[in-house]
């Protein structure tokens, strides 16, 4: 195992962006560039590679100078073997230092104000109701080349519905304290890992809030680990349980 770190500063507004990667080198640069372009500072990038055998690690290392130039704190960990998404997520949570955290799939793309808007809304909602522990957004659906092909409109948070249906996107912003209290997540879960994560957080008594803006791009291709891409691309006109692609905000 390789564990590298750029020392972080203690900052009350620090947001940790957790990127768990496995063989997504072809998309990784665009994902990392979208993190660099975030309007919010300070941020920390936590990158965990799950034994990739493509050029993912090399691509990540090419971004280190830019991270430093932009004042972005970095913590990264490389596994020599593939152990599954939950193992990488648990490690990323362990290494996160911010007050806030968001998990970003390494093939997705954040819009520039994703962190700025999400943090503002989370703090506002939590001030009104201390049980609100995370926010999530709508999204644009893009193909493997990054071309927008549809829209993903999520559902308002409702506890029972959220426990039964996996409609909350991975890239929601939450307080890091909540993630650290709820992890480690179950290593045996290999499918729809984000639902497992949100279920555990909700069962701990936390509530979520939908931000009705499309603030990131979800990339659909035949290697999507969640299987969402396969379902949508097989029939783009069909509404699915997780998102309603053809409504507009």
Give 141-198 pLDDT, tens digit per residue. 999 999 999 999 999 999 999 999 999 999 999 999 999 999 999 999 989 999 999 9
DSSP state of 20: E
CA-CA distance, 38 to 196, in Å (whole number)? 28
Task: Give this prediction's pTM.
Answer: 0.88
Give the per-residue pLDDT at 10.
Answer: 53
Angle (deg, nearest 10), helices 193-203 and 85-95: 50
Q: Is the pLDDT of residue 112 over 50?
A: yes
Q: Is the pLDDT of residue 227 over 50?
A: no
Domains observed in the chain:
2-234 (3.90.550.10)
Give the residue-averaged pLDDT of 84-102: 97
- Position 224 scores a pLDDT of 62
What pLDDT score was predicted for residue 170?
A: 94
Beta carbons of 230 and 156 less than 8 angstroms apart:
no
Q: What SS3 class is residue 84?
A: coil
- Binned at pLDDT 50, 70 and 90, residue 57 comes out as very high
4-8, 33-37, 242-246: least confidently modelled range: 242-246
CA distance linking residue 126 with residue 161, whole number of Å: 21
């Amino acid at each position: 195992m390789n564990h590298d770190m750029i020392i972080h500063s203690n900052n009350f507004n620090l947001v940790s962006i957790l990127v768990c990667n496995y063989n997504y080198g072809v998309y990784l640069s665009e994902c990392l560039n979208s993190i660099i372009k975030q309007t919010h500072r300070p941020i920390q990038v936590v990158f965990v590679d799950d034994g990739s055998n493509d050029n993912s690690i090399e691509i990540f290392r090419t971004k280190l100078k830019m991270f430093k130039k932009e004042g972005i704190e970095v913590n990264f960990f490389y596994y020599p073997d593939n152990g599954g998404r939950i193992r990488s997520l648990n490690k990323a949570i362990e290494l996160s230092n911010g007050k806030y955290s968001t998990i970003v799939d390494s093939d997705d793309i954040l819009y520039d104000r994703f962190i700025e808007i999400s943090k503002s809304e989370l703090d506002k909602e939590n001030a009104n109701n201390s049980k609100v522990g995370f926010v999530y957004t709508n999204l644009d659906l893009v193909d493997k080349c990054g071309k927008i092909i549809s829209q993903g409109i999520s559902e308002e948070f409702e506890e029972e519905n959220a426990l039964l249906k996996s409609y909350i996107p991975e890239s929601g912003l939450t307080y890091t304290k909540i993630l650290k209290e709820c992890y480690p997540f179950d290593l045996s879960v290999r499918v729809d890992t984000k639902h497992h994560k949100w279920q555990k957080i909700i069962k701990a008594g936390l509530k979520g809030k939908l931000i009705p803006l499309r603030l990131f791009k979800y990339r659909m291709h035949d290697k999507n680990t969640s299987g969402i891409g396969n379902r949508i691309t097989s029939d783009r006109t069909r509404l699915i349980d997780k998102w309603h692609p053809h409504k507009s905000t």
